[in-house]
Amino acid sequence: MLINFIIKKMIYNLIKILLNKKNFFLIKKFKIIKKINDLEPYIKKLSNKQIKKYTIKFKKRIKNGETLKSILPEAFAIVRETSKRLYNMRHFNIQLLGGIILNERCIAEMKTGEGKTLTSTLTIYLNALKEKGVHIITVNDYLTKRDAKNNKLLFEFLNLKVGINLTGMTINEKKKAYNSDITYGTSNEFGFDYLKDNMIFKKKNKVQRNLYYALIDEIDSILIDESRTPLVISYNYKKNSNIYFKINKIILILIKKTKKNLKKFYKINYKNKQIYLTEYGLKLIEKILILKNIIKKNESLYSKKNIYLMYHINNSLSAHFLFNKNIDYILKKKKIKIIDEYTGRIINNRKWSDGLHQAIETKENICINNENKTLSFITFQKYFLLYKKISGMTGTAYTEYNEFKEIYNLKTIKIPSNCKSIRKDKSDRVYITKKEKFKAIIKKIKKHTLSKQPLLIGTITIKESEKLSKKLNKLNIKHQVLNAHFHSIESNIISKAGKLGSITIATNMAGRGTDIILGGNLKIKNNNLNIKNKFKNLIKQKEWKKKHDIISKMGGLYIIGTERYESRRIDNQLIGRSGRQGDPGTTRFYLSFEDKIINFLNKYNISNLIHKFGFKKNQIIENKFINKLIKKIQKKNEIRNFKIRKELLKYDNVNNKQRNIFYNKRNKILNNNKINKIICNIIKYVVNSIVKQYIIINFLIKKFDYINLEFFIKKEFYINFNIIKLFYKNKKKNILLKYILIILKINYLKKKKTIGNKNIKNIEKYILLKTFDMLWKEYLYSINYLKKGIYLYIHINKNPIQEYKRKSFYIFCNMLESFKYEIFYIINTIIFIKI
């Protein structure tokens, strides 16, 4: 009777979820699940050989015109049976639902512990049958290796090849990985490979195939949090490092003189990391620069001669006021390592550009590296939109439903949990000062050392995590710390966070992708075990079950948040670490009126609130109004951040159109075996343009300036002939044009004979590509310079985005025009004369 009641209750809850308007269409999906389940008894009876043959059958059916949708029930049933045989893991109905959703270009929001990796195998297998390549995008190398290793056995059993794409691989290794049916790798690695493929000089060095399907794990992290960060390929640009030290000393003097009244001398926007000197600030820094003999008396910082100093001053001000150690970066082996503000992880092989990185190195008094200049760049937004099909998984996407729909045309679907959550999310506790807040947190930690209930403490910054760790060390409380300093052992630390008596302090990276299992992770190999090993595993399982049950009775994993993040989604990521798969758990946030989220948007005047509600020192505040206020602030922040991303996307759309035109033109040159035709067209165009310049329109009568045209042709084209004698009587432009082109062609053919057809083709192709790249580099520099000052158009009542479109279009067209002239002169001077 009790079992029937529980089943009825579960069905009732499931129907309740499905009848939600946004999830209504899920009801239709349960018909597909029924089809998959109906196939199970038949597929169970098949031998391993028979199951393996299904991949070849499916591929043939697709080639004959069948769709993935029609094959889906059989394909999913095959994957489910294979997983059961190899791993003793059978896909739940909820996981089948997740697989169906992923195949329909949607985001499947699945809670922690619901088996996202196992769910992904269904849609990966189905889409790999198209033989166009499936890319599995992960957030770090550890997850790439882990997921590829875990799923390789299943896919290879089903006759599919699995590749892994890692940093440092050779071109041949990468080609092999990309030519596999399924390729695992990080978003960075796939994006950089795309950029590199558009910089090659030989077709054989291209590694990626056409981009077909990308399945993105932790999709919110990649397409929301990292969407504003471009992937940049740059080159080192040498610059005299003395200027950085000089300006750093000037800024330190300025800071000393202005620290009592910052608002008078600076305009600071901490959120957008922008700082400007006010009129008073400019006057003061000019005085200091004159005293230090860097600029002369009566000279302005904005004079042409000194404008470069302004560039260094702005970078140094940013380094001192906006970029903080252990928040925005860490020092590792005397090198600056950038920290991702959303994940808390180190971003490897990345530097701030245009002198900012060097300004921070100077501030920290470490060795200054060369500046980086951009060769090529793309944002994750634009890279993933190149795929014909994308979908993704995460535990926290629903708060960004509108952004995913509007920018990526992806629906976010909440997948019901297999087990009902029994986690308790307690109301926030608010304190007046940070000192009081941490005093209360430490008191709570002490309690847990006695009860041995596992505890995970989430902090926003490395600084906070290390500060708290020092306090616990003084009290001799054993604990683990997980932040960017320890990212290499991240999964190991987080996997132990569910053990009896464990205390873990983590920044918001919190080991995404690794489950926190009560009692600790139980690793058991299921295949080819003898009786002795089976017995050992049975003992292991019993011991683990005992620990798991003890912790469950205590209330499961207890999570403390030391601060609310400005996005609810990041908070939900921390909350979601507890209460997996129907386990008990508790979460609570400890806040203070000095926290960034409350202080940052101080519209509500906190001192008035304290006075209004009569809050006293050391008082625990659990107030509904305060909780509502924080949620309101978070919502506003999310809307604001979305607006910023949308605005930046407008600029990126302009760059993207121009980048696509450039890449298409470059690839046409790379893939063209008739370079001669391209060069001939360029010569015709340039010669025509030059001849036009020597037509004088006088009283509506066209005349040729023969003398200067003859002089120009002899000097620039190296053609020695008398235009005046030949063309004085015949004034037709097209005849003159034809003659010049014939002379150029004769010279060109002479050189071809001496050099050899194959050699000249290779030389010409190299010249075309190299010249195009050089001009693209100059274009990117100009665009970057334009972008930095575009906001100033607001002050003269002009729309910055419209001005950006207009000016960038002019720069781009100028680059394409310059390319033709550059090629013309290089081909004439180098090939026709020097070779």
Where residue 614 falls among pLDDT bands split at 50, 70, 90?
low
Cβ atoms of 52 and 159 within 8 Å: the answer is: yes
Asked whether residue 150 is domain-assigned, the answer is: yes
Asked which of 213-217, 221-225, 468-472, 606-610 is least confident by mean pLDDT, the reply is 606-610
> Does the pLDDT at position 528 exceed 50?
no
Cα–Cα distance for residue pair 424/639, rounded to 1 Å: 28
564 and 591 both lie in a single domain? yes
> Does the pLDDT at position 494 exceed 70?
yes
Going through 544-683 in order, the beta strands assigned E by DSSP cover 557-561, 585-592
570 and 688 both lie in a single domain? no
Task: Quote the domain boundaries for residue 701.
Answer: 655-834
Of the ranges 442-451, 521-530, 547-556, 589-598, the best mean pLDDT one: 442-451
> Does the pLDDT at position 389 exceed 90?
yes
Where residue 758 falls among pLDDT bands split at 50, 70, 90?
low
- What is the domain-level CATH number for residue 31? 3.40.50.300
Neighbours of 531 (CB within 10 A): 7
Specify the pLDDT at position 533. Answer: 60
Asked whether residue 1 is domain-assigned, the answer is: no
Asked whether residue 650 is domain-assigned, the answer is: no
Q: What average pLDDT score do residues 86-113 get?
A: 91
Q: According to DSSP H, which parts of 555-621 are helical?
A: 568-575, 596-600, 606-613
Tens digits of residue pLDDT in 57-85: 999 999 999 999 999 999 999 999 999 99
Where residue 828 falls among pLDDT bands split at 50, 70, 90?
confident
Residue percentage of the chain with pLDDT more than 70: 83
Cα–Cα distance for residue pair 693/456, rounded to 1 Å: 75
Specify the pLDDT at position 529. Answer: 46
364 and 302 both lie in a single domain? yes
* Token output for 524: 């058991």
Tens digits of residue pLDDT in 199-212: 999 999 999 999 99
82 and 211 both lie in a single domain? yes
Specify the pLDDT at position 126. Answer: 97
DSSP category for residue 607: H
Q: What average pLDDT score do residues 121-142 get?
A: 94
> Does the pLDDT at position 619 exceed 80?
no
* Conformation bin of residue 200: beta by default, left when phi > 0, alpha when psi is -120 to 50: beta
What is the rounded average pLDDT for all residues in the chain? 83
Specify the pLDDT at position 385. Answer: 93
Specify the pLDDT at position 294. Answer: 84
pTM of the model: 0.84
CA atoms within a 13 Å half-sphere pointing along the CA-CB vector of 317 = 25
Cβ atoms of 415 and 98 within 8 Å: the answer is: yes
Cα–Cα distances (Å) from 636 to 7, 365, 629, 632, in that order, read 41, 39, 10, 6
Specify the pLDDT at position 602. Answer: 53
Where residue 24 falls among pLDDT bands split at 50, 70, 90?
low
Asked whether residue 723 is domain-assigned, the answer is: yes
Q: Which of 596, 643, 598, 655 is nearest to 621 (CA)?
A: 598
Asked whether residue 143 is domain-assigned, the answer is: yes
Q: What average pLDDT score do residues 310-329 get?
A: 87
> Does the pLDDT at position 8 exceed 60?
no
- Parallel, antiparallel or unpaired: strands 213-217 and 134-138: parallel
Asked which of 19-23, 560-564, 699-703 is least confident by mean pLDDT, the reply is 699-703
Q: How many domains does the chain have?
A: 4
Specify the pLDDT at position 834. Answer: 40
Cα–Cα distance for residue pair 275/317, rounded to 1 Å: 7
Partnered with residue 376 across adjacent β-strands are: 233
Q: What average pLDDT score do residues 634-640 get?
A: 83
Q: Which amino acid is at 746?
A: I
Q: Which position has the higher pLDDT, 552 or 153?
A: 153
Specify the pLDDT at position 526. Answer: 46
Cα–Cα distance for residue pair 220/398, rounded to 1 Å: 9
Asked whether residue 711 is domain-assigned, the answer is: yes
Specify the pLDDT at position 701. Answer: 47
287 and 405 both lie in a single domain? no
Cα–Cα distance for residue pair 302/630, rounded to 1 Å: 43
- What is the domain-level CATH number for residue 317? 3.90.1440.10
Cα–Cα distance for residue pair 690/676, rounded to 1 Å: 21
Specify the pLDDT at position 21. Answer: 53
566 and 686 both lie in a single domain? no
247 and 219 both lie in a single domain? no
- Parallel, antiparallel or unpaired: strands 480-482 and 182-186: unpaired
Where residue 161 falls among pLDDT bands split at 50, 70, 90?
very high
- What is the domain-level CATH number for residue 679? 1.10.3060.10
Of 601, 622, 643, which closes a domain?
622
> Does the pLDDT at position 122 exceed 80?
yes
Neighbours of 250 (CB within 10 A): 20
279 and 334 both lie in a single domain? yes
How many residues are there in the chain?
835
> Does the pLDDT at position 740 exceed 80?
no
405 and 431 both lie in a single domain? no
* Token output for 549: 């049950």
Specify the pLDDT at position 128. Answer: 96
Tens digits of residue pLDDT in 406-422: 999 999 999 888 778 88
Where residue 42 falls among pLDDT bands split at 50, 70, 90?
very high
Cα–Cα distance for residue pair 300/304, rounded to 1 Å: 9
Tens digits of residue pLDDT in 163-174: 999 988 999 999
Of the ranges 182-186, 368-372, 616-620, 765-769, the best mean pLDDT one: 182-186
37 and 80 both lie in a single domain? yes
With both helix axes pointing from N to C terminus, report the angle between 356-363 and 307-321 in degrees, rounded to the nearest 10: 60
Q: Which of 504, 473, 596, 414 is nearest to 19 (CA)?
A: 414
Q: What average pLDDT score do residues 21-39 get?
A: 79
Asked whether residue 8 is domain-assigned, the answer is: no
Q: Which position has the higher pLDDT, 186 or 717?
A: 186
Which backbone phi and psi does 45 adopt, to 5 degrees? -75, -15
Specify the pLDDT at position 835. Answer: 35
224 and 288 both lie in a single domain? no
> Does the pLDDT at position 177 exceed 50?
yes
Of 622, 642, 670, which closes a domain?
622
Of the ranges 14-23, 133-142, 306-315, 632-641, the best mean pLDDT one: 133-142
Where residue 20 falls among pLDDT bands split at 50, 70, 90?
low
Q: Is 336 helix (H, G, I), strand (E, B) or coil?
A: strand
Q: What average pLDDT score do residues 380-402 get?
A: 91
Asked whether residue 788 is domain-assigned, the answer is: yes
* Token output for 632: 């309101």
Q: Which amino acid is at 192?
A: F
Q: Which amino acid is at 24?
A: F
Tens digits of residue pLDDT in 657-713: 999 999 999 999 999 888 888 888 888 888 888 777 776 544 444 556 667 777 777
687 and 569 both lie in a single domain? no
